[in-house]
Structure 1
Amino acid sequence: MSRTPRPKRRVLRRHHIVEVGIAEQNLVGDAAGLAACGMKPFVVSPACFLTARSLEQLKVDVSYGRNPVRLIGISAGISYGALGASHHSIADYAALRAMPGIPIVAPADNCETEAAVRSAAATDGPVYIRLGKRALACVHTSRSGPVTVEHATQLRAGGDAGIIATGETVAIALEAAKALERKGVDTTVVSMPTVRPLDTGTLFEVARRVRALVTVEEHSVHGGLGEACATALMTGGIPVRFRCLGIPDEPIVNGPQLDVLSHYGIGPDKLAGLAQELLT
């Protein structure tokens, strides 16, 4: 008597969502425990709380424990605008750059965000991905080539000024380059999604080619992209007129995101003016 063969079982990958409420310290600690057991946790929380309130858990459970937790900080920088300094995240680069083993990625658009998430899923170590809040146009074109976050991408080429930007400031840098072009200034614009480890190869190539270089970020001028680039250039012995543009060392003003950024000179016209000033 023949038996009817049993249908093959389809193995499904199981995805779980764990909600811990407003408890970022528990969130990171739980995720580190799951990572230690071989799972691939993605932690999602506002960047201001994820990298400040749970700083000790990030230091001990993720960094020192070498647990592969994928940290997703949303509404970063000044995305929360008028909610004030308690909700701004302008020290996250600085805090995490001081901890060993945590790469820092700030995508400029949806293309870089997808690349960052795919890269994080494939890695065996921790990573911090910093996302904003407002809708952004894609800064990449077919001429940019394959989108990656492991290396910087040159979006415009020019031999006069160079702008190295990360995250949401990349779009501002591109607009500034257009304003400079109208004044006869050829500008290189680089999207530097990974703040750590820094793509020093691209940085050095641009610094050797241009006469003035500006870094721009939605972060404090202390401990972020600008300081990382300045240190690399100084250590590498590469002389170039250089300026770091970010949030200065003072109590931050409150208001809509773009208004606050413009207040600190992080806007197309003011950025273009700064670059042109360095060239004179």
Structure 2
Amino acid sequence: MSEKKIATRDSYGAALVECAEHDSEIVVLDADLAAATKTGMFKKAHPDRFIDCGIAECNMMGVAAGLAASGKKVFASTFAMFAAGRAFEIVRNSIGYPHLPVKICATHAGISVGEDGASHQCCEDIALMRAIPGMTVINPSDDVETKAAIRALVDFDGPAYVRLGRLAVPVINDNESYHFEIGKGVQLKDGSDVTILATGLMVAPALEAAKTLEAEGISARVINIHTIKPLDGDIIRKAAEETGLLVTVEEHNVMGGFGSAVSEFCSENCPIRVVKIGVNDTFGQSGPAAELLDVYGLNAQNIVDTVKRAVSEKK
């Protein structure tokens, strides 16, 4: 894991510019937040293919649907609270229902939005988006994975929601062996006592926690699940059978999110105990992002403590 930290929203902006150099059909929409979502990078490079829809997120999703129906490769961005929350009905009926290839790339998701507070800290977006039939949901862990996801989505046939963050996070996938594939998890560390399934910015703390656990005699497997829908059932089933205990980690409400998706899969395919770490059915509050992550237990130490309790109960 590199000491370098990059916010996935920055990676998104850079990837858009890169992809557009080779594909003239890419069009980017934003809702008056281009500087924050980093679509401003695309606007500067390709102003003729950028549309600022203003503070009208529902309208933006309708425009995105129309452009996609006419053959354009559309990326639409705003904050997660507005993309998944305010515009939900339009996303469902105008993008999801006709299964149009609009890529909704929402930034400023989760508690790590920080000082903007509960009104902007969207911890419900995964639940909302994965409930839409046919919607692919991706939550990349770092710079490398975000860029790979955007490249993969350019020609992807169908709607997709990509969850991006405001906070700079460690680069963990900067190795030659890394391979991104929609719907396939990535095992980052082997282990035999427990499997930690992490998504998004919680992947780095999961790796840190596994290192601490190893020193304390607990062998923890770590798997990065960047695609929450469709979920990689094969890697989860294998981990369940081989380690006998799963712990999910997400910067999202534990209800309806990543942990719920894993629990649903396991209840039908490989009944096993699933312990969920996330935001425990509460709203956020205003404060520095790093401090808020600690307040809500979204850190390596809480993962260590939770895993130790779960492993002791397993025995």
TM-score by length of 2: 0.81
Match of 2:137 in 1: 104
Q: Cα offset for 1:228?
A: 0.7
Match of 2:294 among 256, 262, 265: 262
Match of 1:79 among 112, 118, 124: 112
Instruction: State whether structure 2 residue 82 is matched by structure 1 residue 49.
Output: yes
Gaps of 5+ in 2: 1-21, 27-48
Q: Cα offset for 1:141?
A: 5.0
The aligned length equals: 269
Give CA-to-partner distance per residue, 1:56-75, whole Å, 9 cap, x none. Answer: 11011011122111100011
Q: Cα offset for 1:211?
A: 3.6
Structure 2 vs 1, CA of residues 144 and 188 (structure 1 numbering), >3 Å: closer, same or farther?
A: farther
**Which is richer in helix?**
2
Instruction: State whether structure 2 residue 24 is matched by structure 1 residue 13.
Output: yes
Structure 2 vs 1, CA of residues 13 and 250 (structure 1 numbering), >3 Å: closer, same or farther?
A: closer
Which residue identity lines up with residue 117 of structure 2 in the other structure?
Answer: G
Is the contact between residue 162 and residue 187 of structure 1 (CA under 8 Å) also seen in structure 2?
yes
Which residue identity lines up with residue 161 of structure 1 in the other structure?
Answer: V
Q: Cα offset for 1:137?
A: 2.0
Q: Cα offset for 1:216?
A: 0.5
Match of 2:283 in 1: 251
CA–CA distance in structure 2, aligned partners of residues 253 and 12 of structure 1: 41
SS of alignment partner, residue 158 of structure 2 = coil
Is the contact between residue 250 and residue 278 of structure 2 (CA under 8 Å) also seen in structure 1?
yes
Which residue identity lines up with residue 90 of structure 2 in the other structure?
Answer: Q
SS of alignment partner, residue 85 of structure 2 = coil
Gaps of 5+ in 1: 1-10
Which residue identity lines up with residue 191 of structure 2 in the other structure?
Answer: G
Match of 1:161 among 188, 191, 194: 194
CA–CA distance in structure 2, aligned partners of residues 135 and 251 of structure 1: 22
Match of 2:232 in 1: 199
Is the contact between residue 183 and residue 229 of structure 2 (CA under 8 Å) also seen in structure 1?
no
Structure 2 vs 1, CA of residues 221 and 170 (structure 1 numbering), >3 Å: closer, same or farther?
A: same
Give CA-to-partner distance per residue, 1:33-90, whole Å, 9 cap, x none. Answer: 1111111111011111111111111011011122111100011112321211110111
Is the contact between residue 211 and residue 279 of structure 1 (CA under 8 Å) also seen in structure 2?
no
Is the contact between residue 112 and residue 148 of structure 1 (CA under 8 Å) also seen in structure 2?
no
CA–CA distance in structure 1, aligned partners of residues 134 and 173 of structure 2: 29
Is the contact between residue 113 and residue 165 of structure 2 (CA under 8 Å) also seen in structure 1?
no
Is the contact between residue 198 and residue 206 of structure 2 (CA under 8 Å) also seen in structure 1?
yes
Match of 2:263 in 1: 230
Is the contact between residue 111 and residue 147 of structure 1 (CA under 8 Å) also seen in structure 2?
no
Match of 2:121 in 1: 88
Identity %: 36
Q: Cα offset for 1:195?
A: 0.5
Which residue identity lines up with residue 132 of structure 1 in the other structure?
Answer: G
- Greater Rg by CA: 1
CA–CA distance in structure 1, aligned partners of residues 213 and 127 of structure 2: 31
CA–CA distance in structure 2, aligned partners of residues 69 and 269 of structure 1: 38
Instruction: State whether structure 2 residue 59 is matched by structure 1 residue 26.
Output: yes
CA–CA distance in structure 2, aligned partners of residues 143 and 214 of structure 1: 28
Structure 2 vs 1, CA of residues 165 and 12 (structure 1 numbering), >3 Å: closer, same or farther?
A: closer
CA–CA distance in structure 2, aligned partners of residues 265 and 163 of structure 1: 15
Indicate the larger mover: 167-176 or 250-259: 250-259
CA–CA distance in structure 2, aligned partners of residues 104 and 159 of structure 1: 29
CA–CA distance in structure 1, aligned partners of residues 245 and 289 of structure 2: 27
The 5 A counterparts of 1:144-155 are: 144-155=177-188
Q: CA RMSD in A?
A: 1.7
Match of 2:310 in 1: 278
